[in-house]
Amino acid sequence: MLDGVFKTADSEDGGTLLPLDMMSLLKTLFPLPRSLTGDGVRATLQALKKHIPLDIHEVATGTKVFDWDVPREWNIRGATIKTLDGRVLVDFADSNLHVVGYSVPVRGTFTREQLAAHIHTLPDQPDAIPYRTSYYAENWGFCLPHSLWQTMQDEAYEVEIDSELADGALTYGEFLIPGETEQEILISVHICHPSLANDNLSGITVATALVRHFLAQPKPRFGIRFLFLPATIGAITWLAQNEDHLDRIVHGLVLTCIGDDGPFHYKKTVNGAVVDLATEHVLRHSGHAFETLEFSPYGYDERQYGSPGIALPVGCLMRAIHGTFPEYHTSLDNCDFVTSEALGQSFRLLVDLIDLLQRNVTYRRVDGRGEPQLGRRGLYRAIAGQKEAGGASQMDLLWILNQCDGNRSLLDIAERAKAPFSRIRAAAELCLNAELITEVRP
């Protein structure tokens, strides 16, 4: 970071960040062979480092992280299924979904019956390749379209998976935009899925765009910590290694499946938190269709951040819900399934949400005895100017003057007034400038 701005080759003046082309970044990352560990994850993080500053951590195989151990590292160079006369039918080079994640190396001739035990298809989606893994049980397998498997009627095939499962490290990326306080907002995305555009390259690209956006803004009230982790074991590893500092996290979001054109879905935190109210507020005033979901211990890493003894206020923002759309965990979740418009909508919604969390201050009236005289302070003229710009109205001002008792936050007031947070915040700024209210410090 240089003077609060990360300077990159795509900065026209060498100092101001341009908006990130999220779709272009997504397409660049799409073919990289990501998994829980390995060089595909490293290549992904190095690609992100071209756009944002990122601290890359390596945690050695066997490291104890709560009830888990960091697994062995997996890398793959290639894999094929061939006919006995050498014709290639399935090739990892064509799609990195073709091989079950963490497949052990194998090479030999297998009868069709033997091979069938290691073949995964989707009969209900005959032209799609499924995504399958075998992280914690040594096995091997291929994933292919059911329509292709039905044509493979030879008695035997040549099979090769050129992979390696050995001691190494788990790799993850992290970056903190420091704030005025030690308290932090956590943004977490998973980076272990291979060529799946919505789940979760959409989260990765939007999070990267958010880093660039907030780096170019004035220093925030809360720090913003971004994590790019393999799912489950990555979050558990980060939590175990940062247990002494978890109380700094005051708000958090897991981002996933936010690149499709469907309605937004927000899954609440484990115990209820301000981020729940804030997210629902922003969604309600966004103009987008949305639904809120209660917490469940099934899903993405919000369940790790919300586990007993941790219980961080971290929710999950999605558009399509995992496991409920036909493209989920198949080759149909490709770059055509994600749209630039949807990525942009998700980005703008998150900018508004993070801004709200940063600006959700509590004020009290300097003199709360009765309604203050507004005319002589020029507040009616100020409101007229604000209203023309879509800012505060007279009612917003009256709500602020009535509700700023030192206990209610601006979000509380916005909810009660049924007004967008931005208008209530604008009204508070007018009152603050007129010395009618003062901030309540914790």
Q: Which residues carry a binding-site annotation for Zn(2+)?
A: 193, 199, 329
Tokens of residue 111, six digits: 């009868």
The torsion of the CA quartet 362, 367, 372, 378, rounded to 10 degrees, works out to -70
Amino acid at 270: V
The pair phi, psi for residue 154, each rounded to 5°, is -65, 160
How far apart, in whole angstroms, are the C-alpha atoms of residue 124 and residue 115?
21
How far apart, in whole angstroms, are the C-alpha atoms of residue 205 and residue 211?
10
3 state DSSP class of 106: strand
Tokens of residue 317, six digits: 């923002």
Tokens of residue 313, six digits: 């206020």
353 conformational bin, left if phi > 0, alpha if psi -120 to 50, beta if neither: alpha
Beta bridge partners of 293: 267
Cβ-based neighbour number of residue 298 at 10 Å: 8
Residue that has been written with the tokens 């399935």 in this structure: 90
Q: Are 322 and 328 in contact (CB under 8 A)?
A: yes
Q: Are 282 and 353 in contact (CB under 8 A)?
A: yes
How far apart, in whole angstroms, are the C-alpha atoms of residue 155 and residue 111?
6
Annotated binding site: 193, 199, 329
What is the pairing mode between strands 169-177 and 55-60?
Answer: antiparallel
CA atoms within 13 A of residue 322's CA, in its CB half-sphere: 15
Q: Which residues contact 34 (CB under 8 A, 6 or more apart)?
A: 40, 41, 44, 191, 192, 193, 194
Residue that has been written with the tokens 């480092």 in this structure: 49
Residue that has been written with the tokens 């998973």 in this structure: 190
3-state secondary structure 358-399: HHCCEEEECCCCCCCCCHHHCHHHHHHHHHHCCCCCHHHHHH
The pair phi, psi for residue 22, each rounded to 5°, is -65, -40
Cβ-based neighbour number of residue 147 at 10 Å: 14
Q: Are 236 and 64 in contact (CB under 8 A)?
A: no
